Amino acid sequence: MTSAVPGTLAAFLCFFSLTVNVSDATGQETVAKPEKKITEIKIGYLRAYAPQLTLSMLDLPPRDEGVAGAEVAIGDNNTTGKFTNQKFSLDVTEVKPDGDAVQAFEGMITKGDRYVVADLSAKQLLSIADIARDKGVLIFNVGATDDSLREEDCRINVFHIAPTRSMLADALAQYLMVKKWPNWVLLYGSHEQDHLYADALRRAATRFGGQIVAEKEFKDTGTARRTDTGATQIQQQISVFTQDLPEHDVVLVADESEVFGTYVPYRTWTPRLVAGTAGLVASSWHPASQQWGGIQMQSRFLKTTSRRMLSKDMSAWTAVRAVGEATTRTKGDDAKRISDYIRSDDFSVAAFKGQKLTFRKWNLQLRQPILLGDTKSVVSTSPQEGYLHQVSELDTLGVDQPETKCALK
């Protein structure tokens, strides 16, 4: 019995040794799995920026207006990107509002940006559009509301997230007609953008049956708008300025240049409703929007940025999410393939507006509901009930396909 113990121990040690050796051998033969390849998708943000003067301190745009929305969307894209092996980044570049955007844009291309969110003037955007097309770069316009960019100056590589002036004016006109307030007075500023919005309001009146019974231009004389004397002078002028107007239901204000519009409500000679760029304002988003999951978006944005979400923030968010959605669906980062997909019937993007949004194929404008609101709340959303369309009710806002002058090139 005693001699069997060493033999049993030896057998056990031998078995243990073999087991260890086999385990080691197995470990040596196991090939490590290669790391997953991550596709980096670089999105540029090119903005024209300078501190601007507004009639009200409350209207001063935040320093990161638009950019903040894009950054939140980058985070949303990367949440999905963890599962699709994609990583999104944002490259922000600024130029002056009257500056040359070409050099800045070419610098972004050099850094590898193939998708550029543009918050530029119409002139600046056009200066880079053809360069971008030749370089295979897609531009997403979130700043310029000019109808010309979607019509005679349209480009096949420029997608428009921001609504046009005609879309905003049509949304307002529909609501005024539904409320049976058809007679309007039009007050407009003396700057180019004021005239363009006034033109959009005239077009909307013709389109939906409104009557502009009188028009007056408010000349910008360079009054010091932020001084007590300047503010008082303009406020006093408004009453006299509106004294001789014919009978009307609504005062329409076209003052994109922020010269007099804020002072029109409550100061007209005859007590009347005010709409346009003051009073009841049409916009692509509203800081108080809560419907269709908007409260979740608002809360998330507030938590991330410590401020409320503005229209340009939502436009930038939508632009970056459009890129994220397209790259996820196409499983790649080819700009040509992305462009084709965005323009196809398969593409849509959800933006907390009650329905999925798509691009108009004839001018690459994003279809979207327009919110009508005052400083505190959303009053209504257009298109209004009863305005029908054979394709999409959203196409009752802005230039429809039979009217377009766009020839994408």
Contact 72, 307 (CB under 8 A): no
Residue 255 has what pLDDT? Answer: 97
Q: What phi and psi values does residue 151 have, to the nearest 5 degrees?
A: -115, -105
The tokens of 355 are what?
A: 């329905």
- At residue 97, the 3 state secondary structure works out as coil
The tokens of 291 are what?
A: 């419907």
Instruction: Locate all alpha helices (DSSP H) within 265-310, ordered by sequence.
Output: 294-305
Single-letter amino acid, residue 299: S
Q: How far apart are the first and last CA of the chain?
A: 98
Count CB neighbours of 26 within 10 A. 9
CA distance 28 to 122: 64
Q: How far is CA 59 from CA 52, 53, 56, 263, 310, in A?
A: 10, 9, 5, 13, 11
Contact 254, 276 (CB under 8 A): yes
Single pTM value for the model: 0.89
Instruction: Locate all alpha helices (DSSP H) within 288-369, ordered by sequence.
Output: 294-305, 311-330, 335-342
> Long-range contact list for 147-152, CB < 8 A, 24+ apart?
147/196, 147/200, 147/398, 147/399, 148/122, 149/122, 149/125, 150/363, 150/364, 150/365, 150/398, 150/399, 150/404, 150/406, 151/363, 151/399, 151/404, 151/405, 151/406, 152/405, 152/406
Count CB neighbours of 313 within 10 A. 28
Residue 333 has what pLDDT? Answer: 87
Beta strand 138-141 with 86-95 is unpaired
Q: List average pLDDT for each run of 10 residues in the chain, which is 409 residues long.
A: 47 45 48 74 96 83 96 96 94 96 97 97 98 97 98 98 98 98 98 98 98 96 59 78 96 96 95 97 95 92 95 98 95 91 95 94 97 96 95 96 95
Count CA atoms closer than 13 A to 305's CA, side-chain side.
Answer: 24
The tokens of 132 are what?
A: 């971008």
